[in-house]
Amino acid sequence: MTEKRGFYIIKDEILPEIVRKTVKAKELLKSGKARTINEATEKVGMSRSAFYKYKDFIFPFYEASLGKIITISLVLEHRPGVLSGILDEIARAHGNVLTINQNIPIQGLANVTISFETGGLIKNIEELIEDMQSKPGVQKVDIIAGE
């Protein structure tokens, strides 16, 4: 029987420190804040051999989600403009909304599901989610699917 391999979405706080350092080193290289692998690994405090061991196996979610469809679930306060603010945030990031499903508000809260394309995003998905979560009237934002 062969071992089935797959991909998982895992919150970074449970990852070993060396894996988080690998991601940071890759970000330094990508942003130009480090010109070489040696410089990047020194800045984050890891060995080059550890970097080479993990670099092809860990990617930020936004890299894996580019050009895909993301579905988010939100809990919003039932007030004028809250959903509109979320849609504005997606539009400012150049996301293309495909579907919106809003349930009838119960006890002042509405569950909303939005699917949107990420191919044209000008910011990474984590930043977009953080921006949504910081808007007034937003109780919760979760990514529930990515295709």
Q: What is the pLDDT of residue 141?
A: 92
Q: What is the pLDDT of residue 68?
A: 80
Q: Which two tokens stand for residue 132?
A: 């949504």
What pLDDT digit, counting tens, does each position of 126-142 carry?
Answer: 888 999 999 999 999 98
Residue 42 phi, psi (nearest 5)? -65, -40
Q: What is the pLDDT of residue 143?
A: 86
Specify whether domain 64-146 bears CATH 3.30.70.260: yes
d(CA 98, CA 85): 17
Question: DSSP letter at 67?
Answer: T
The residue ranges of every structural domain in the chain are: 12-58, 64-146
What pLDDT digit, counting tens, does each position of 50-74 carry?
Answer: 998 988 888 766 555 555 888 999 9
d(CA 56, CA 8): 15
Q: What is the pLDDT of residue 113?
A: 96
